Amino acid sequence: MERERFDIFISGGGLSGLIAACAFGRLGLSVLCVDPQPAVTDQANPKADRRSTAFLQPARVTLETAGLWTRLAPFAAPLQIMRLADAGGEAGEIRYLADFDAGEMSDSPFGWNLPNWLLRREILAQIDQTANITLRFGVSTTRIVARHAHALVALSDGSQIETPLVVAADGRNSAIRNMLDIGVKTWRYGQKAMVFTVSHPRPHNNVSTEIHRTGGPFTLVPLPDDSGIPQSAVVWMETGPHAAGLMALDDADFMVQANLRSCDILGPLTLTSPRNLWPILSQKADRLTGPHTALMAESAHVVPPIGAQGLNMSLGDVQALVDLIESGADLGSIAMLTAYERKRMPDITARVSGVDMLNRAALLESPNLRALRLKGLQFLNETTPLRRAAMRAGLGA
């Protein structure tokens, strides 16, 4: 079979890989993106990704660079206020609220929230109109051989690709990371995340709310209204056995428990989607590069769904690569890859460590430790320098 050549090869067609393809394609580069699984873009499909993604302000810049924001903006729910609620008392009632309003520091909201299945639909529609981007679903990467000027990539369909730059966006169990013998540190919490969408009688008023008790936060993230009825995405983190027990309930009994856990903050919640269960862990690759290869997204870092850090970190990876390409860096060169690692690794390390600390605090079960967590939230909210630092982090700085 004749060898094909592309400027950039992306292994992994999840959201990060698809956005990266759009961003590189807008630079006039030829891009091939492959993924072993087909993309699900229909909300009614049982395999649809029910999670949502909150894009923080820097991520919007990347989406604009990739030519995607005008497509996505009509479907996005702005996140104007980030609300932290402590419900760690014996009765489980909310005993302290801390509201962080983006208006205190910015003319724009903290971010914008969109359903993942819809993101895939719109990104694929954009790619379909971009001649220099090629997608192949049902295809995986089987081997990479580095040469002096390029890498040779073998694919499961028998084709061979020659490229100066391989971008590994193939997830937390990255095959490319394993091929390059790059180690990874993993933190496990014994948690699962239950993901679903709800409607509710009270408007969310563009407030994203994290309710902390035990087991992890119960987070309500605004979605656009549906026929005038307020909607939110829910990420409910619990210990593994508790999550398994909740998922075993029928929808009616499950929502009884969900309403108790929501502390009635938006009124009675009504389930509007199937429920999905996701494992929770943190992960960081020992390094971000190999010969002609850059690791990005979950092949490089994984964090629990706290503070909307996950995909936003991934778009930080994309933007770093875009900036290097625009600066004239030689694709896939040692100099380019060294600069990429130097740019991204400190930020990744800080954010993985920070989210790990926050998640461990959310897991606290002892009443005394929960009381300490409450004091910490009060101190954060009422100490101006700390409050402003937290808001800068929330804005993606």
In this prediction the pTM is 0.89
More confident residue, 365 or 138: 138
Q: Identify the band that residue 24 occupies on the pLDDT scale cut at 50, 70 and 90.
A: very high
For domain 4-71+117-185+284-357, give its CATH number from 3.50.30.60, 1.10.10.10, 3.40.190.10, 3.50.50.60. 3.50.50.60
Q: Which two tokens stand for residue 110?
A: 């903290």
Domain ranges of the chain: 4-71+117-185+284-357, 77-114+187-280+362-394
Asked if pLDDT for residue 21 goes beyond 90, the answer is yes
Q: Identify the band that residue 250 occupies on the pLDDT scale cut at 50, 70 and 90.
A: very high
Asked if pLDDT for residue 89 goes beyond 90, the answer is no
Please list the residues that pair with 53 across neighbouring strands: 114
| Beta strand pairing call for 81-86 and 96-101 | antiparallel
So what's the pLDDT on residue 41? 83
Q: Which two tokens stand for residue 114?
A: 């969109």
So what's the pLDDT on residue 193? 92
**Sheet strand arrangement including 141-146:** 4-5, 160-163, 151-155, 141-146
| Beta strand pairing call for 151-155 and 141-146 | antiparallel
User: Which of 41, 29, 106 minimizes the C-alpha distance to 66?
Assistant: 29
Q: Are 67 and 22 in contact (CB under 8 A)?
A: yes
Q: Which two tokens stand for residue 287?
A: 């390094």
So what's the pLDDT on residue 100? 82
Asked if pLDDT for residue 35 goes beyond 90, the answer is yes
Give residue 392's Cα distance to chain centre.
18
What is residue 39's DSSP assignment?
P
Q: Which two tokens stand for residue 394?
A: 């929330």
Asked if pLDDT for residue 196 goes beyond 90, the answer is yes
More confident residue, 159 or 82: 159
Please list the residues that pair with 79 across neighbouring strands: 111
Fold of 77-114+187-280+362-394: D-Amino Acid Oxidase; Chain A, domain 2 (3.30.9)
Ranges 78-92, 303-317, 373-387, most confident: 303-317
